[in-house]
Chain A
Amino acid sequence: MSNPKTANVVIIGGGISGVAIAWNLAKKGVKDIVILEKKTVCSGATGRCGAGIRMQWGAEQNCLLAKMSVEFFENANEILEYDRDVEFDQGGYLIVAGNEKENEQFKKNIALQNSLGIPSKHLTPQEAKEIVPHMDETQIVGATFCQKDGHLNPFNTTEAFAKAAERLGVKILKKTKVTGIDVKNDKIVGVETTGGYISTPLVINAAGGWAQEVGKMAGVDLPLYSERHQILVTEPVELIQDPMYMAFSLNIYIQQTPHGSFIMGRSNPEEPRDLRQTSSWQFLHEMINTCTTLLPPLRKLNLVRQWAGLYNMTEDAQPIYGKVDNVEGFWLACGYSGHGFMLAPATGILLTEMILGEPLSIDITNLDLGRFERGELCFETSVV
């Protein structure tokens, strides 16, 4: 198969966002969509993420985006006509408060979430221990829990979108790297790749960790940076922990997957801003110290593997959705700040509505690129 020479839409990045946008556009009848992926589908942040899915957010907009996405994931196998299973396991999210201030904020979050139809609740440490019996409840002052949150298989979910998109004619060119974006008279006219030139009037930057680099190719300096986040996984054991266990104040999350292995990640506030994806022993040391304090029996598990992926960060830890005003045809779906995977269904729907000029299912116009210049940032504090 030779690569296409022209396309109506070129999506840069074969992660969850790229394939979700492509599928939504194709479903609405857009033809000749090409996804360019420098390695293989899911090889970037999507394939490296913790793959937790939650609706327990602090900002109303995120609650709504997450709710839309969870409702999609619940029916993803059917909607995407997937021949395998996206493995959506709604074991819940248990978010623990390490201090009273956090606990009070959580109570406000719960009120907001409940008002939006999200079935979360506040728990005492003892109630939390009933859900995760191996926790040391003396380490926490309270918790929140939502049974509808959970975990997905990120590889299968991305494949499900990719296959559904391909059935609608979307072309995914793997091992094809974008080397330049051709802009003439402030308009996108094409993309240069290692597989040849593709003429196109529309480019979507869904490059995750490399979104800043892609922006520069079109002459746009996006207010984004990337930083490494690390994860480890253990050998599978008998299923003992249903929900994701998360602590914002300690920057950690710990979850047992349906496969039996425990996946845990930790953010380092001092992580430098760059594109490294290397693993460090310091992460292991800190992660395991924290994990075994909170969930002591996990000390007996065997570490199998550790890895790192990139968070593509914005100043307010919120994504950038929408077009770039001074480069016609250049669209952004990046800057997820660590929660791009779980928002992907909403990303796909809303970007498509924006591009086709349709009314938006959820108003996300405030998440545009212009908010940084206007100084109208939309902070979200419930992040790891």
Chain B
Amino acid sequence: MYLKTGVADKELVSNALPTEERRASGPYAIIECFQEIPCNPCTEICPFGSILPMDDINDLPRMDYDTCTGCGLCAAICPGLAIFIINESYSDTVASVGIPYEFVPLPQKGDVVKMMDRAGEFVTDGKVLRVVPNKKYENTPVVTVEVPKDKVNEVRFLQLKQEAEVAMPTADPNDEENLPDTTIICRCENITVGEVRKMIDQGYDDFDELKRLIRTGMGPCQGRTCRHLIMQEISRKTGKKFEDIELGAFRPPTKPIQLEQLIGGKEDV
């Protein structure tokens, strides 16, 4: 399930947690790394040797919770943003969670932010306690947020309040008002939604037809960015169901490649 959805389930998470005793006795790191990949910066950065050395670089990290202080360096260095710093004994009433956060603008101390679970669903509001920029370690800031004790191992991401407000109106793809004609729909070829709409009005209601006539999806991205947006626009204008709109042709290669990379020697013909 995890491999399919990318969302860790309760069992995986509870296996990663330390004992109840350790959880109650101060900050600790939880490593939510469940897939064997060649990656080991966490084992190198830990100043206390709490993340045990790996036999093979593909191994999953293992923790020695007796020495872990919850310092947070591993959370900043993990390229997969898979390590979080939990302090269940932050106070009598609330816990804290440290989350690696690579977006701008950064939240400020004291901000109330929305806390999301591993699937991105809203769980609770939280108050930002501190923001550690970590310029030294890959520039990944760790944001520590105060949350209710029973939610601390549920929340794993945060969203700024104003960001949430800006993002909401475009969330409904069927609301034409939110995509003005001047919006660029095909960034490679600089084509606006207005140009696409004009063509659809003339009866061109097929992705490949539009591609041939106004070059949408013909640029270096090969429609990876714009294909579904254009299909959505066709669906909206013609009233056809999105799933009934043909995807159009996919052509190799999947990403641009320099010609000289393909020359090769005669022996591999």
Contacts and interface: CB of A to CB of B under 8 A. Distances in A.
A302 B259 contact: yes
B208 interface: yes
Given A155-B213, A292-B259, A285 B269 contact: yes
B126 to A, nearest CB: 45
B220 interface: yes
A298 interface: yes
Nearest to A158: B212
A43 B204 CA distance: 13
Contacts of B219: 304
B253 A288 contact: no
Nearest to A159: B213
Nearest to A236: B219
B257 A302 contact: yes
B209 interface: yes
Contacts of B269: 282, 285-286
Nearest to B206: A40
Contacts of B209: 40-42
B220 A304 contact: yes
Contacts of B222: 304-305
A279 interface: yes
B248 to A, nearest CB: 10
Q: Which range contains the number of B residues in contact with the other chain?
A: 20 to 34
A303 interface: yes
Given A303-B253, A305-B222, A306-B251, A47 B260 contact: no
B252 interface: yes
Contacts, number: 71
Interface in B64-95: none
Contacts of B206: 40, 174
A8 interface: no
Contacts of A292: 259-260, 263
A40 B207 CA distance: 10
Q: Interface of chain B, helix or strand or loop or mixed?
A: loop
A234 interface: yes
Contacts of B251: 279, 305-307
A155 B264 CA distance: 34
A139 interface: no
B258 A301 contact: yes
A207 interface: no
A41 B264 CA distance: 38
B220 A235 contact: yes
B262 A285 contact: yes
Nearest to B207: A40
Nearest to A307: B251
B258 A302 contact: yes
Interface string A296-333: 00111111111100000000000000000000000000
B106 to A, nearest CB: 36
B180 interface: no
B219 to A, nearest CB: 7
Interface in B241-269: 249, 251-253, 256-260, 262-264, 269
Contact of B212 (A42, A285, A298, A299): A42
B213 A40 contact: no
B186 to A, nearest CB: 14
Nearest to B212: A155
Contacts of B259: 234, 288, 291-292, 298-303
A381 interface: no
B224 to A, nearest CB: 12
Contacts of A279: 251-252
Nearest to B257: A303
A279 to B, nearest CB: 5
B262 A284 contact: yes
A306 B252 contact: yes
Given A235-B220, A306-B251, A47 B262 contact: no
Interface in A197-232: none
A279 B262 CA distance: 15
B263 A288 contact: yes
Q: Please indicate which of the listed interface residues B206, B222, B249, B262 has the most CB atoms of chain A within 10 Å of its own CB.
A: B262
A43 B208 contact: yes
A304 B189 CA distance: 13
Given A304-B220, A305-B222, A305-B251, A235 B256 contact: yes
A147 interface: no
A291 B212 CA distance: 26
A249 interface: no
A47 B263 contact: no
A289 interface: yes
Contacts of A288: 259-260, 262-263
B234 to A, nearest CB: 13
A156 B206 CA distance: 16
Interface in B220-250: 220, 222, 249
A155 B222 CA distance: 18
A292 B261 CA distance: 11
Interface string A153-182: 001100100000000000000100000000
Nearest to B202: A163
A312 B69 CA distance: 74
B253 to A, nearest CB: 6
A156 B262 CA distance: 32
Contacts of B252: 279, 305-306
17 contacts: A40-B206, A43-B208, A235-B256, A259-B215, A285-B262, A285-B269, A286-B269, A288-B262, A289-B263, A292-B260, A299-B259, A300-B259, A303-B258, A304-B219, A304-B220, A305-B218, A305-B251
Given A300-B259, A305-B222, 17 more contacts: A174-B206, A235-B220, A259-B215, A279-B252, A285-B262, A288-B260, A288-B263, A299-B263, A300-B258, A300-B260, A301-B258, A301-B259, A303-B256, A303-B257, A303-B262, A304-B219, A305-B252
The 5 closest A-B pairs by CB, nearest first: A299-B260, A155-B212, A302-B256, A305-B251, A40-B209
